[in-house]
Amino acid sequence: MVTVSPYKIDVPQEVIDDLRERLQRTRWPDEVSGTGWSRGCDLSYMKDLVRYWIDEYDWRNQEAALNQYNHYQGNVDGLNIHFLHEKGKGPNPMPLFMMHGYPWSFTMLLRILPMLTDPESYGGDPEDAFTVIVPSIIGFGFSEYPMETGFGFQHHPRKYDKLMVEGLGYPRYGIEGGDWGGFITAPYGFICPENLIGIHLNCLFPRLGDEREPEDKDPDILRGLGMKWAPLKPTDPDMLWYWKNVERYWIDEGAYCHQQMTRPQTLSLAISDSPVGMAAWIIEKWRAWSGWGGDFEKLFPKDMIITNVMLYWVTNSFWSAIRLYSESYYHPWELEPGSRIEVPTAVAAYPHELAPIVRKRAERYYNVVHFNKYSEGGHFAIHERAEEMSADLREFFRPLRRKENFLS
């Protein structure tokens, strides 16, 4: 039921030629002078980026660089899932399944990858080495999405677990996730706990359970902006701070989310026909969520930004990627009241995360045995704070891996 075969990225030249023609024919809108990034993507920035995309960016060079990694495709129950599989350099490398988010791709994890597979080269102990498996999560890039409705984030874990256990022969392994990858750790730990050594996450979004007080459940209460799971007036100061951050994100940043949850096909028709539209939709979030403002290209060079967009474009997978939002919205999953994930869990809490993690809330849903609160970093910490995150992963899994033999 699970087969694994080597995979090579090889985009047909006609796809690249078509893209170039579309970029050259871009019809630009106007903008109100002085608005910059305050109403979305800055027009002058996008024009400069597209000039670079046409004149200097080289997909074939980027494709060759990506193909230096070990790519595979696993067929799990008829569904093709693309992934990287990088073996660890140490006496007993631990399998670690690392999930990305939206609008990312597996490329966001490339910086941290060698720090985990070869810790000795980065001043660490080879005993802490990981064998790292990084998928294009289902629906993204080179991974397919089921063509029937109802496949939400809660259905991902069984596919990934089959890939790890039956396809790769890893009956015990760890998982890590941020953004949607962090979201997926919840059903993963609930559905497949016996196979997980531990869970590491750096993003804990709402909607894991109903956190309203009984008096907040009056059917005549209006629930503004879809935050139906949130308490109306949290009495705990930490939780009030948390929910105010969620509210700010939902009001100021959440329009894309609501569109992708409720009317993804309409958006897909526009985005899938315009590479500049796709780039603007994605890049706006990379800039806003990184917290680096005008310096965000110091964190994300142009080639990295464009390559991430290219992985959505050349696979025409924008529509299937955002289905994760709508299928999870129309087919929701929550933990039952009073239940939590008992797999040992680590939390790396960053101050500029979209919804900064509060420890007591994390402990409500997970068996948190390791918690580090950092002074810098945000939503893309897996890239931005790669050295710190790799150290956190090694520290957390070190005592958990001692009784495991991954080479048997």
Examine the residue annotation and report whether 179 is marked as an active-site residue of this protein: yes
Between helix 237-253 and helix 255-262 the angle, nearest 10°, is 70
Question: Alpha-carbon distance 43 to 154, whole Å?
Answer: 38
Is the Cβ–Cβ distance between 234 and 361 less than 8 Å? no
3-state secondary structure 215-240: HHHCCCCCCHHHCCCCCCCCCCHHHH
Helix residue ranges, H only, 222-331: 237-253, 255-262, 264-271, 275-290, 296-299, 302-313, 318-330
Q: Which of 145, 173, 188, 325 is catalytic?
A: 325
Examine the residue annotation and report whether 379 is marked as an active-site residue of this protein: yes
Number of H helices, E strands in the chain: 16, 9
If you search the block for the tokens 């129950």, which residue do you land on? 77
Q: Which of 179, 200, 312, 365 is catalytic?
A: 179
The single-letter code of the amino acid at 39 is: R
Examine the residue annotation and report whether 100 is marked as an active-site residue of this protein: no
Is the alpha carbon torsion for 27, 31, 34, 38 positive or negative? Answer: negative
Question: Alpha-carbon distance 84 to 6, whole Å?
Answer: 10
Helix (H, G, I), strand (E, B) or coil at 193: helix
CA 3 to chain centre: 25
Q: Which of 160, 379, 383, 392 is catalytic?
A: 379
Residues annotated as part of the active site: 179, 325, 379
